[in-house]
Amino acid sequence: MREAILLFLVVASGTGGEICVTRAMKYVGEVTDFRPLALVRFIFQAMKVPWMWIGVSMMALAFFSLLAVLSIENVSFVVPVTALNYAAGALGGKFFLGERVTPRRWTGVLLVCLGVTLVWLGKR
Amino acid sequence: MTSSPGLHFKTYCMLLIMVVFAPLGNILLGKGMKNVGSIVFWAPSRLPHIISLVLTSGYIWLGVASLLIFFVAYMLILSWADFSYVQPASSIALLVVALLGYFYLGERISPLHWAGIGVICLGVFVVGNTPPRTTEVR
């Protein structure tokens, strides 16, 4: 039960955070200059977008949940199970970010979910 | 969708950084947390001791550093590529985590577990053949 709650937090909070960070990065615009100073300036620019802070906070919660679950479960079990966020991510990308998720991409996402199920069953 | 060889090259470089540093970070965190021991939430009196163990673990700091490098690469790639492309495409890191867990940490992985990771990688291959961007940049 404890593992399930922690894994839920890792997946839900992690995916929510990533979607918020994506929204912030799309707002800032595409990176075209890869010089270190330009990258630092770009990161500071991204930090001015509120979505970035919401995203980073949610990702921090996911990170501490990950630390907690890693103290009780193997890495090779925890990390593949957290791939469940691919399904949540595709849904979030489609409905929250307005991305066009093609049937081929949906097929890939479904395969990822099937793989996660096998990993979970393989632990039993 | 606006796609070009340059865009694909830039995308693959960032994905490479992500699939190296994310698994490395997770493995280091896993090793560090195993040294700390199981966290029991209904014993708050032990939490300060656990936090001090976490903060003084070299493995955890190295893991955090690796994940920071991953996060910067992740932020950069998300500025031009779709979230629903980047997220599944970077899941090849799951195979790297399992391999490192098996060989470096000595974790037991069942055949069904390996099969699951194989199916995940197949999913990654399918997703990797879709265009990185389906929306226009503002």
User: Domain coordinates of chain B in residue numbers?
Assistant: 5-128
Q: Kindly report the pTM of this predicted structure.
A: 0.73
- A89:B54 CB<8 A: no
B118-128 pLDDT, tens digit each: 898 788 777 66
Is the pLDDT confidence value at B66 over 90?
yes
**Between residues B38 and B31, the one the model is more confident about:** B31
Is the pLDDT confidence value at B65 over 90?
yes
Interface with chain B: mutation pick from A3, A119, A123, highest number of B CBs within 10 Å: A119
Please choose, from the candidates B90, B26, B109, the residue with its C-alpha nearest in 3D space to the C-alpha of residue A119: B109
**Residue B61 backbone dihedrals phi, psi, to 5 degrees:** -65, -40
Report chain A residues whose CB lies below 8 A from the CB of B126: 104-105, 107-108, 111
- Count of alpha carbons within 13 Å of A104, Cβ hemisphere only? 10
Report chain B residues whose CB lies below 8 A from the CB of A98: 135
CB-CB: which of A70, A104, A118 is closest to B30? A70
Is the pLDDT confidence value at A78 over 60?
yes
User: In one letter, which amino acid is A102?
Assistant: T
- A109:B129 CB<8 A: no
**Residue B32 backbone dihedrals phi, psi, to 5 degrees:** -60, -45
Interface with chain A: mutation pick from B2, B83, B103, B105, highest number of A CBs within 10 Å: B83
Interface with chain A: mutation pick from B91, B108, B135, highest number of A CBs within 10 Å: B91
CB-CB: which of A63, A102, A115 is closest to B120? A115
pLDDT at B1 (0 to 100)? 42
How close, in Å, is residue A83 to chain B by CA atoms? 7
Average pLDDT, integer, range A19-45: 82
B82-94 pLDDT, tens digit each: 766 776 667 678 8
**Between residues B42 and A115, the one the model is more confident about:** A115
pLDDT band per the 50, 70, 90 thresholds, residue B21:
very high
- The pair of structure tokens assigned to B37 is 């021991």
HEC readout, A82-95: HHHHHHHHHHHHHH
ipTM of the complex: 0.72
